[in-house]
């Protein structure tokens, strides 16, 4: 993957606000904040051209810590607010910061519709599989049977897969990253920034207070190689500490195979295609440990006109055809009559 890095004019400090960061010590949000600032510093876009819009939750405090424009809004509504802003102000780079509770539970509806419209927004969904701000209730991504304050005997809700929801919503850009892999995270965020359209990025994020270690399989250097597969466009899906495992189609199903066993070689592995049919990406989005490595990186990246462009193009097109609106004519309408009555002035 090549990332077109422009002449850096800004440093990540240019994107830091004067506010004290108040997340819990050790929170995964710190590394995401740093990665976002580093990502933005690569581009020749000044801080005033960015707006960060968030909902409610620990992650949603994010805009306060960016030296850009921003709104810390209400539960689940960040995407709608961001949609209005982007449609009204296509010149701005609008990022949405949301969490698994905010974006998939109370705001699930807006997530679906923002993605299917393909509004040109960069959507970062911090997934820590828990409600952190309200102190530890299970979230829509928590595993079945999860014991929390609100589910002392175990949650009875089946978890949703954020990437699968994004794909089912016809998202044009779907990716996953992990808070503790900053280099990879910056790569993914850079791709998201460069994507024209709704870019949905799920970020595995550790809540060391209420759900510590939920993603240790993907974070722990010692074991992660066996539990995640880094997707790269045009490359085979290899993983494992020794790069000895891979994903292949066996009898129509995605299976984990070991290279050199059962006659499998690198040539038998699935080759990642960011523009593959949706069904292929859907299969990848549903891979879960411990049976499968979980894919990280850009799963899907396709082109489709953005909603904000379509709205504004329609206005331009009609104005071109009809000419700019003549207000007096509009107010007057087509059926008028003259009253020759008294002048009551």
Partner 1 sequence: MSVKTTETGEKPIQSIQRATVRFAGDSGDGMQLSGMQFTNTSAVYGNDVSTLPDFPAEIRAPAGTVYGVSGFQLHFSSEDIHTPGDQVDTLVAMNPAALKVNLRDLKPGGIIVANEDGFTTQNLKLAGFEESPLDDGSLDGYRVFQVPMTNATTHAVEELGVTGRDAHRCKNFFALGLVCWLYSRPLDPVVEFIHSKFKSNEQMREANLKVLHSGYYFGETAEMFQNNFQVKPATLPKGLYRQVRGNEALALGLLTAGHLAKKELFYGGYPITPASDILHELARHKEFGVRTVQAEDEIAGICTTIGAAFGGSLGVTASSGPGIALKGEALGLATILELPLIVVNVQRGGPSTGLPTKTEQSDLMQAMYGRNGDCPMPVLAPRSPSDCFDIAIQAVRIALKYMTPVMILSDGYIANSAEPWLVPSVDDLEEIPVHHLEETNGPDGELLPYKRDEDYSRPWVLPGTPGLMHRVGGLEKADGTGNVSYDPDNHQRMTDYRHAKVEKVVDVVPDQIVYGDPDADVLLIGWGGTYGAIREATAELIERGHPVANIHLRYLNPFPKNLPEILKKYKHVLVAELNKGQLREILRARFLVDARGLNKVQGRPFMVSEIVTAVEMLMNEEAK
In whole angstroms, the minimum distance from the beta carbon of 112 to partner 1 comes to: 8
Nearer to partner 1, 150 or 332 (CB): 332
| Range 151-170, binding partner 1 (CB under 8 A) | none
Nearer to partner 1, 83 or 180 (CB): 83
Q: Does 335 bind partner 1 (CB under 8 A)?
A: yes
What tokens appear for 290 in the block? 């411990």
In whole angstroms, the minimum distance from the beta carbon of 71 to partner 1 comes to: 6
Q: Which of 6, 44, 291, 343 binds partner 1 (CB under 8 A)?
A: 343
Q: Does 324 bind partner 1 (CB under 8 A)?
A: yes
| Range 70-89, binding partner 1 (CB under 8 A) | 70-75, 77, 80-89
| Neighbouring-strand partners of residue 97 | 54, 124
Q: Which of 12, 34, 41, 113 binds partner 1 (CB under 8 A)?
A: 113
Cα 70 to Cα 230: distance, rounded to the nearest angstrom: 32
Nearer to partner 1, 49 or 266 (CB): 49
Give buried/exposed letters for 89-121 (b at 16+ CB in 10 A, else e).
eeebbbbbbbbbbbbbbbbbebbbebbebbbbb
Q: Which of 41, 254, 310, 311 binds partner 1 (CB under 8 A)?
A: 311
| Range 87-106, binding partner 1 (CB under 8 A) | 87-89, 91-92
Nearer to partner 1, 62 or 239 (CB): 62
Q: Which of 266, 261, 267, 270 is nearest to 292 (CA)?
A: 270
Nearer to partner 1, 47 or 182 (CB): 47
In whole angstroms, the minimum distance from the beta carbon of 344 to partner 1 comes to: 4
Nearer to partner 1, 86 or 146 (CB): 86
Cα 107 to Cα 101: distance, rounded to the nearest angstrom: 8
Find the part of the chain contacting partner 1 (CB under 8 A) among 149-157, 231-239, 292-300, 311-319: 311-319
Nearer to partner 1, 265 or 314 (CB): 314
Q: Does 67 bind partner 1 (CB under 8 A)?
A: yes
| Range 37-66, binding partner 1 (CB under 8 A) | 46-49, 51-53, 56, 63-64, 66
How many CB atoms are closer than 10 A to CB 345? 3
Give buried/exposed letters for 222-245 (b at 16+ CB in 10 A, else e).
eebbbbbbbbbeeebbbbbeeeeb
Q: Which of 3, 9, 11, 109 binds partner 1 (CB under 8 A)?
A: 109
Q: Which of 12, 21, 10 is nearest to 186 (CA)?
A: 12
Q: How many residues bind partner 1 (CB under 8 A)?
A: 65
**8 A C-beta contact, residue 233 and residue 273:** yes
**8 A C-beta contact, residue 257 and residue 246:** yes
Cα 255 to Cα 7: distance, rounded to the nearest angstrom: 43
Cα 27 to Cα 209: distance, rounded to the nearest angstrom: 8
Cβ burial of 312 (10 Å; 0-12, 13-18, 19+) is middle
Q: Does 328 bind partner 1 (CB under 8 A)?
A: yes
| Distances in whole angstroms, Cα of residue 275 to Cα of each of 38, 170, 281 | 28, 13, 9
Is 312 in a helix, a strand, or coil?
helix
CA dihedral over 198, 299, 166, 142, signed as positive or negative? negative
Q: Does 327 bind partner 1 (CB under 8 A)?
A: yes
In whole angstroms, the minimum distance from the beta carbon of 10 to partner 1 comes to: 13
User: What is the binding site for partner 1 (CB under 8 A)?
Assistant: 17, 19, 46-49, 51-53, 56, 63-64, 66-75, 77, 80-89, 91-92, 109-110, 112-113, 311-312, 314-315, 318-319, 322-325, 327-328, 330-333, 335-344
């Amino acid at each position: 993957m090549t990332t077109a890095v422009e002449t850096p004019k800004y440093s990540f400090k240019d994107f830091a606000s004067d506010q004290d960061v108040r997340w819990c010590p050790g929170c995964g949000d710190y590394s995401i904040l740093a990665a976002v600032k580093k990502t933005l510093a690569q581009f020749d876009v000044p801080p005033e051209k960015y707006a960060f819009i968030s909902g409610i939750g620990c992650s949603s405090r994010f805009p306060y810590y960016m030296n850009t424009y921003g709104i810390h809004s209400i539960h689940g509504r960040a995407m709608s607010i961001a949609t209005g802003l982007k449609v009204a102000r296509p010149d701005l780079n609008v990022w949405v910061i949301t969490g698994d509770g905010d974006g998939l539970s109370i705001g699930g509806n807006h997530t679906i519709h923002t993605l299917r419209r393909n509004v040109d927004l960069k959507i970062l969904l911090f997934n820590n599989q828990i409600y952190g701000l309200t102190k530890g209730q299970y979230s829509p991504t928590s595993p079945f049977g999860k014991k929390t304050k609100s589910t002392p005997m175990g949650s009875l809700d089946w978890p949703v897969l954020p990437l699968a929801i994004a794909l089912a919503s016809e998202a044009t850009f779907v990716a996953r990253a992990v808070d503790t892999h900053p280099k990879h995270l910056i790569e993914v965020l850079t791709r998201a920034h460069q994507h024209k359209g709704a870019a949905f990025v799920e970020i595995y994020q550790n809540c060391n207070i209420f759900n510590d270690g939920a993603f240790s399989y993907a974070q722990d250097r010692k074991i992660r190689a066996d539990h995640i597969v880094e997707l790269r466009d045009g490359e085979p899906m290899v993983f494992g500490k020794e790069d000895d495992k891979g994903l292949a189609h066996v009898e129509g199903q995605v299976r984990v195979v070991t290279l050199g066993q059962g006659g499998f070689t690198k040539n038998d592995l699935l080759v990642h295609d960011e523009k593959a049919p949706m069904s292929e990406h859907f299969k990848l989005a549903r891979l879960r440990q411990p049976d499968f490595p979980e894919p990280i990186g850009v799963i899907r990246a396709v082109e489709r006109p953005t909603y904000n462009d379509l709205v504004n193009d329609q206005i331009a097109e009609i104005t071109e055809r009809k000419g700019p609106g003549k207000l007096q004519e509009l107010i007057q309408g087509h059926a008028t009559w003259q009253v020759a009555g008294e002048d009551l002035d």
